[in-house]
């Protein structure tokens, strides 16, 4: 699951390692995810970043969950806190190439290979079903790896807030709440 909508998501501002509070829509999205997963068994995990922890508290209700730094959003270095539209205009060369490849060109950023390594390590440590609250690019990477796909397919598929990506037997099913109209 991706964390609920934040004020910065609404503005088009990039988080990376920074944080912003959930909007009322983000709180509603977390409530939807709680309903969608209420009967699911498995270990529960969250990124330690505030927006994910706030979402996880709402999704997992009173159930215990572990925070794991491997689930943090990819570090985007000097791009964090900036509007994506401004970066595309002022640092256009960083955005040349395939979709999402710019994550490898963030000044002082982590890069996608490092993200892949930490996501592989996290998945290798699981010993059964898991419910995970994380971030957009990290969730894309986890989904990609769990489906056995290569990193060149990272940009494929949607990445929504308020839904649950259920990965099982080599397939991904998107669970969407009936009130989700977007």
Whether 21 is in a domain gets the answer yes
Confidence class of residue 146 from pLDDT cuts 50, 70 and 90? very high
Residue 1 lies in a domain: no
Of 79, 110, 69, 72, the closest CA to residue 14 belongs to: 79
Q: What is the mean pLDDT of the chain?
A: 97
For residue 181, being part of any structural domain is answered with no
Burial of 98 (0-12, 13-18, 19+ CB in 10 A): exposed
- Per-residue pLDDT of 23-69, as tens digits, reads 999 999 999 999 999 999 999 999 999 999 999 999 999 899 999 99
pLDDT of residue 62: 87
Domain assignment of residue 90, yes or no: yes
pLDDT confidence tier of residue 182, bands split at 50, 70 and 90: confident
Determine the 3-state secondary structure of 166 from DSSP: strand
The answer to whether residue 75 sits within a structural domain is yes
Q: Which CATH number characterizes residue 52's domain?
A: 3.40.50.1240
Nearest to 32 by CA among 65, 63, 6, 1: 1
Region 92-96: what's the mean pLDDT? 96
């Amino acid at each position: 699951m991706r964390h609920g909508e934040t004020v910065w998501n609404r503005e088009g501002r990039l988080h990376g390692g920074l944080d912003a509070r959930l909007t009322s829509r983000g709180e509603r999205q977390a409530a939807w995810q709680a309903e969608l997963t209420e009967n699911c068994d498995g270990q529960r995990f969250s990124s330690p970043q505030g927006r994910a922890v706030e979402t996880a508290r709402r999704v997992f209700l009173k159930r215990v969950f572990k925070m794991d730094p491997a689930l943090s959003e990819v570090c985007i270095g000097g791009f964090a806190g900036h509007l994506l539209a401004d970066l595309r205009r002022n640092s256009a060369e960083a955005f040349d190439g395939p979709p999402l490849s710019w994550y490898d060109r963030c000044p002082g950023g982590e890069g996608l290979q490092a993200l892949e390594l930490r996501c592989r390590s996290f998945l290798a440590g699981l010993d059964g079903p898991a419910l995970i609250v994380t971030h957009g690019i990290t969730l894309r990477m986890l989904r990609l790896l769990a489906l056995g796909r290569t990193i060149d397919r990272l940009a494929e598929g949607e990445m929504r807030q308020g839904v649950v990506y259920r990965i099982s037997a080599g397939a991904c099913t998107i669970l969407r709440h009936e009130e989700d109209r977007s």
